[in-house]
């Protein structure tokens, strides 16, 4: 027996998902315009490279404060940064809601924030309900170390993958059939991988549901600043405010996850946050944050950046403009190839419908198509099955992590592939029909001969 803990040997991390396997293939053969023009283009990474800002230096009033920032830090975080961050969060939401910096817990990215909330809200064996399709990394972030289970809320393309009351209730019943205690619902708003914002109807439905079940709601809003088209983004905090639910029991059971990775294009800075109105959650999460702190240097740089209101206003507007242009470029390019996307208004990717390119309506066919696109076309995209989509043939395709020239190349590759695939499918169908007709003719001849022979013998 190996002298390792069970956690070290368990395979619930999700690293063997096609979502992560696509990354591995990209890293083996990455596209480079000059050095490797035939390499794989990374379209599976939701990274924003369109509007990366420059940071300030480590100075205050002209004097270096590097030594001050290099010393031991309080894991509660720098007050200046927390104040700047909550102001930025309000600004993204059109200043319709405000946030108290005392209710904010800094974490090393949204990954850490979501896992920390699982540790605070649930025990091993408890469950959270998640609408499908959902971000593949949640299988790692929410489950791997916490022992918490995920029960899917099955959403379908028939209504644009919107959350319905019946889907919520069915997921809740399914959890109980599995002998799991449901501790809450987690949603991404805007959605990853759909690229859509939750409607007011959906948000009110979620609030009603957690009120009735007396459970928690986590709203992961890390893409809130990427909304580039109507309808506008509605934060769960705005819903609570408009329904006069502030300082009520449900107010304390709703928690927000945020990060600067997507809105500011700073995933390498590892800056995330938990916002909760429950003092006990804030206290416990703050203690846990000591295992994944945001460096003082990072906090100082970003507090200087976010405190510049002229910069933040210009940045948000310009970033959303660039995202819309890139999104429209992707959608129109795919349409020319006969490929449609779910209508979206946010994020760094499109939810692409390639069901017509499947050889059969199965997830096996989806994986065959995905492998063909990765290995033969040279594009790393994420298959819907990695996002737990219930319908084969959907793919998440990112557009903001590359230059315009590279995106144009990717679209050309998809066009050529789609044309060839459709031709092959049509040819195969024609051949199958021809084979059926041949069999039918053979059968008719056989019946005729049999009948003719019987008539002859009878005579």
Annotated catalytic residue: which of 126, 141, 220, 353? 220
Could you tell me the strand order of the sheet in which 182-188 lies? 104-107, 272-276, 254-259, 216-220, 182-188, 127-131, 149-153
Phi–psi pair at 359, nearest 5 degrees = -75, -25
Phi–psi pair at 27, nearest 5 degrees = -65, -25
Residue 381 appears among annotated catalytic residues = no
Residue 303: C-alpha distances to residues 57, 127, 292 (Å): 11, 36, 19
Torsion angle, alpha carbons of 423, 429, 431, 435, to 10: 180
Residues 260/223, Cβ–Cβ less than 8 Å: no
Residue 7 appears among annotated catalytic residues = no
Residue 213 appears among annotated catalytic residues = no
Distance of CA 117 to the CA centre of its chain: 18
Annotated catalytic residue: which of 92, 163, 222, 411? 222
Residues 129/172, Cβ–Cβ less than 8 Å: yes
Residue among 163, 141, 143, 144 nearest 153 (CA): 163
CA–CA separation, 332 and 138 (whole Å): 31
- Cis status of the peptide bond prior to 179, with omega within 30 of 0: no
Q: Give 199's DSSP letter.
A: P
Residue 135 appears among annotated catalytic residues = yes
Annotated catalytic residue: which of 262, 263, 315, 411? 262
CA–CA separation, 102 and 86 (whole Å): 10
CA–CA separation, 54 and 49 (whole Å): 12
Active site residues: 135, 220, 222, 262
């Amino acid at each position: 027996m190996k002298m390792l803990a069970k956690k070290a040997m368990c395979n619930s991390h999700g690293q063997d998902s096609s979502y992560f396997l696509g990354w591995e293939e990209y890293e083996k053969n990455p596209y480079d315009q000059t050095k490797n023009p035939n390499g794989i283009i990374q379209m599976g990474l939701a990274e924003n490279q369109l509007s990366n800002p420059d940071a300030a230096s480590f100075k205050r009033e002209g004097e270096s404060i590097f030594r001050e920032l290099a010393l031991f830090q309080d894991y509660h975080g720098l007050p200046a940064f927390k104040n700047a961050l909550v102001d930025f969060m309000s600004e993204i939401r059109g200043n319709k809601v405000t946030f108290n910096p005392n209710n904010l817990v800094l974490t090393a990215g949204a990954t850490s924030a979501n896992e920390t909330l699982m540790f605070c809200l649930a025990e091993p064996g408890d469950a959270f309900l998640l609408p499908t399709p959902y971000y593949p990394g949640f299988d790692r972030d929410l489950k791997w170390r916490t022992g918490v289970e995920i029960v899917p809320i099955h959403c379908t393309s028939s209504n644009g993958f919107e959350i319905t009351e019946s889907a919520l209730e069915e997921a809740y019943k399914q959890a109980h059939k599995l002998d799991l205690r449901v501790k809450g619902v987690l949603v991404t708003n805007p959605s990853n991988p759909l690229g859509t914002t939750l409607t007011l109807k959906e948000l009110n439905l979620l609030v009603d549901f957690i009120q009735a079940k007396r459970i928690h709601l986590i709203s992961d809003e890390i893409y809130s600043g990427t909304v580039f088209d109507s309808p506008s983004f509605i934060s769960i905090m705005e819903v609570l405010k408009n329904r006069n639910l502030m300082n009520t029991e449900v107010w304390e059971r709703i928690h927000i996850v945020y990060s600067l990775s997507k809105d500011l294009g700073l995933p390498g800075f590892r800056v995330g946050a938990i916002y909760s109105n429950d003092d006990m959650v804030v206290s416990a999460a703050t203690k846990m944050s000591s295992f994944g702190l945001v460096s003082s240097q990072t906090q100082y740089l970003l507090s200087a950046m976010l405190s510049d209101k002229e910069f933040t206003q210009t940045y948000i507007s310009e970033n959303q403009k660039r995202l819309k242009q890139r999104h429209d470029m992707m959608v129109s390019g795919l349409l020319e190839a006969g490929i449609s996307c779910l209508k979206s208004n946010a994020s760094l990717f499109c939810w692409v419908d390639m069901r017509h390119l499947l050889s059969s309506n199965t997830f096996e066919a989806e994986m065959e198509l995905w492998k063909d696109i990765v290995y033969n076309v040279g594009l790393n995209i994420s298959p819907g099955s990695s996002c737990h989509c219930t319908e084969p043939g959907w793919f998440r395709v990112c557009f903001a992590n590359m230059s315009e020239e590279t995106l144009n190349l990717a679209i050309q590759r998809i066009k050529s592939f789609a044309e060839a695939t459709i031709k092959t499918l049509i040819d195969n169908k024609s051949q199958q029909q021809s084979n059926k007709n041949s069999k039918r003719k053979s059968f008719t001849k056989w019946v005729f001969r049999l009948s003719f022979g019987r008539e002859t013998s009878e005579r």
